Amino acid sequence: MAKKRRKYSRSSGKEVESEVRRYKKGTAKSGPGGKRKVKSRKQAVAIGLSKARKKGKKVPKKKR
């Protein structure tokens, strides 16, 4: 049986982890120029994944 492939790279997980940590601390910002405060954990995870995508890490495409 073939080995299961990763959907997300380990480094992208670290990116999400750091964003969630910033959310818990209360310093996570969203929107252009970081004007708004992140209000939910889901939002923090989405921002972390988005940052990982921009850095070119292995993350599946955004579902529309």
Q: What is the pLDDT of residue 11?
A: 92
Three-state SS for 42?
Answer: helix
Tokens of 3: 């080995």
* Least-confidence region, from 3-7, 19-23, 39-43, 47-51: 3-7
- Residue ranges covered by each domain of the chain: 8-25+37-58
b/e for 3-41, b at 16 or more Cβ within 10 A?
eeeeeeeeebbebbeebbebbeeeebebeeeeeeebeee
pLDDT, tens only, 24-62:
999 999 888 888 899 999 999 999 999 999 999 999 888
